Amino acid sequence: MAGDIDPDVATYLAVSFLAIAAYNTLVLLIWIFNFFKRWRGLYFWSILSGTISIAGFMIITILSRFQKAPSVVTGIGIALLYPCLLTSQILVLYSRLHLITTQGPILRFVLWAIIITSCILLLPFTIILIGLSTGHRQFLAPEQFIERFMIIGTVIRELILCAIYIYQAIRQLKPIIAVKGRAGRKVMIHLILVIGAVIVLDAFMLTSIYIGASGLGLAYTCVAQSVKLKMEFGMLNRLLELLGAPIEGSIGGLGLNGLEDSQDRMVNSPQRLGGGGEECSWAVPGGVS
Instruction: Identify whether 285 is part of a domain.
Output: no
Q: Check residue 116 and give its pLDDT.
A: 95
Q: Answer for the pair 155, 208: CB distance below 8 angstroms, yes or no.
A: no
Residue 115 carries which side chain, given as an amino acid letter? I
Q: How many structural domains comprise the chain?
A: 1
**Residue-range definition of the domain harbouring residue 77:** 7-267
Instruction: Identify whether 278 is part of a domain.
Output: no
Instruction: Identify whether 60 is part of a domain.
Output: yes
Instruction: Identify whether 287 is part of a domain.
Output: no
Q: Check residue 209 and give its pLDDT.
A: 66
Instruction: Identify whether 16 is part of a domain.
Output: yes
pLDDT in 10s for each residue of the chain, 289 residues: 444 567 778 788 889 999 999 999 999 999 888 888 888 888 889 899 999 999 999 999 998 888 888 888 888 999 999 999 999 989 988 888 877 777 788 889 999 999 999 999 999 999 988 888 887 777 777 877 888 888 889 989 998 998 888 888 888 777 777 777 777 777 788 888 888 888 888 888 777 666 655 557 788 889 999 999 988 877 877 777 776 643 333 333 333 333 334 344 444 433 332 333 333 333 344 443 3
Instruction: Identify whether 138 is part of a domain.
Output: yes
Best CA proximity match to 54, nearest among 216, 222, 227: 222
Q: Answer for the pair 201, 65: CB distance below 8 angstroms, yes or no.
A: no
- Where residue 238 sits, what CATH number does that domain have? 1.20.1070
Instruction: Identify whether 275 is part of a domain.
Output: no
Q: Check residue 210 and give its pLDDT.
A: 66
| pTM: predicted TM-score of the whole model, two decimal places | 0.77
Instruction: Identify whether 204 is part of a domain.
Output: yes
